[in-house]
């Protein structure tokens, strides 16, 4: 007897980079995500520029993607980490500049708190570089109060 297929659900991923060619890397990552079996790129925000938060180095280029996926949250996290590695991500110290950072922000309505994964992402409500592009593609997930709380962080939408 075959097992039933996992239902498709929406997952939101934050993308960021500030080393190499960040804009090209984010475009590559969005394309690569859409080619993963069990993952469909449903929406992607515009690219945004922001200053590093709790980090050093050049400005970041950020975006948020909505994925429709049948993968489990841990399997999706493995995909994200594999793409980071393909892009040359190194982790010499916490919040180091990076060629690619992919954060699982939300996984359906799930609340996960494990040693390897916390969903919803624990710091996403404190970061304009997440909330501004997330509000662009999923306005129902971000309140005006949340946007107002991070308004001073300065996020600039880039031309397409």
Share of the chain above pLDDT 70, in %: 93
Q: Would you say 140 and 128 are in contact if contact means Cβ atoms under 8 Å apart? A: no
Range of the structural domain that residue 110 is part of: 9-123
What is the Cα–Cα distance from 153 to 106, expressed in whole angstroms? Answer: 22
Residue 57 above 50 pLDDT?
yes
Please give the Cα distance from 94 to 131 (Å, whole number). 22
- Summarize the confidence of residues 132-160 as an average pLDDT: 94
How far from the centroid of its chain's Cα atoms is residue 118's Cα? Answer: 13
Judge whether 97 lies within some domain: yes
Please identify which of the residues 103, 109, 127, 157 carries the catalytic annotation.
103
Q: Chain-wide mean pLDDT for the chain? A: 91
Residue 111 above 70 pLDDT?
A: yes
What's the pLDDT at 154?
Answer: 85
The pLDDT of residue 54 is 75
Residue 93, in any domain of the structure: yes
C-alpha distance across the termini of the chain, in Å = 49
pLDDT at 92: 58
- Of residues 22 and 89, more confidence is placed in 22
Tell me, yes or no, whether 1 lies in a domain. no
Q: 1 versus 94: which is more confidently predicted? A: 94
Is the residue at 145 inside a domain? no
Query: Residue 53's pLDDT is what?
Result: 77
Maximum average pLDDT range among 1-5, 50-54, 100-104: 100-104
Residues 6+ apart with CB under 8 A from 97: 18, 19, 52, 55, 56, 57, 58
113 a catalytic residue: no
pLDDT band at 93 (very low <50, low <70, confident <90, very high): low
Sequence-ordered list of residues with C-beta below 8 angstroms from that of 13, at least 6 positions apart, any chain: 33, 64, 65, 67, 80, 102, 103, 104, 105
Q: Is the pLDDT of residue 50 over 90?
A: yes
Q: What is the CATH number of the domain that holds 67?
A: 3.30.70.560
Residues 62 and 158 sit within 8 Å (Cβ to Cβ) = no
64 touches 134 (CB < 8 A): yes
101 included as an active-site residue: yes
Please state the domain count of the chain: 1
What pLDDT does 7 receive? 85
Q: Does residue 135 sit within a domain?
A: no
103 is catalytic: yes
CA dihedral over 106, 110, 113, 117, signed as positive or negative: negative
In a domain, 138, yes or no: no
Catalytic residue from among 40, 54, 89, 113: 89
13 contacts 117 by C-beta, under 8 angstroms: no
Highest mean pLDDT among 98-102, 116-120, 139-143: 139-143
The reply to whether 49 belongs to the active site is no
């Amino acid at each position: 007897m075959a097992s039933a297929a996992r239902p498709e659900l929406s997952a939101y991923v934050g993308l960021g980079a500030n080393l190499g060619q960040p804009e090209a890397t984010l475009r590559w990552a969005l394309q690569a995500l859409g080619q993963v079996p069990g993952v469909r790129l449903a929406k992607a925000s515009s690219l945004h520029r922001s200053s590093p938060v709790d980090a050093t180095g050049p400005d970041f280029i950020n975006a948020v993607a909505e994925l429709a996926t049948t993968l489990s949250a841990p399997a999706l996290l493995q995909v994200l980490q594999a793409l980071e590695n393909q892009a040359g991500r190194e982790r010499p110290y916490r919040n180091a500049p990076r060629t690619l950072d992919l954060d699982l922000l939300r996984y359906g309505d799930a609340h996960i708190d494990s040693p390897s994964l916390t969903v919803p992402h624990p710091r996403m409500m404190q970061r304009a570089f997440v909330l501004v592009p997330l509000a662009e593609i999923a306005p129902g997930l971000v309140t005006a109060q949340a946007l107002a709380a991070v308004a001073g962080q300065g996020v600039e939408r880039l031309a397409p």
